[in-house]
Amino acid sequence: MLKNIKTLLRNNSFIIAFVTTIIIVCLSLIRVPNAPIKLTFTNIDKIFHGFAYFMLALSWLIAYYKKPNKKYWIVILCIVFGIIIELLQSKITLYRSGDYLDVIANSVGALSALLIFNIISKKK
List helix spans (H) across 1-124: 2-11, 13-29, 45-63, 71-92, 100-123
User: Structure pTM?
Assistant: 0.85
What is the spatial distance between Cα 52 and Cα 63, in angstroms, rounded to a whole number? 17
Query: Domain boundaries in the chain?
Result: 2-32+43-123
pLDDT of residue 97: 78
pLDDT tens column, 8-63: 667 788 999 999 999 999 988 888 776 565 555 667 888 999 999 999 999 999 99
pLDDT of residue 40: 58
More confident of the two residues 116 and 6: 116
Determine how many CB atoms are found less than 10 A away from the CB of residue 82.
25
What is the spatial distance between Cα 80 and Cα 110, in angstroms, rounded to a whole number? 11
Determine how many CB atoms are found less than 10 A away from the CB of residue 21.
15
- Return the minimum-mean-pLDDT range out of 38-42, 63-67, 75-79, 115-119: 38-42
More confident of the two residues 71 and 32: 71
Angle, CA 43 vertex, CA 115 and CA 62 arms, to 5°:
25
pLDDT tens column, 98-117: 788 999 999 999 999 999 99
pLDDT of residue 6: 67
More confident of the two residues 64 and 3: 64
Straight-line distance from the first to the last Cα atom of the chain, in angstroms, rounded to the nearest whole number: 21
pLDDT at 119 over 60: yes
Non-local CB neighbours of 45 within 8 Å, separated by 6+ positions: 102
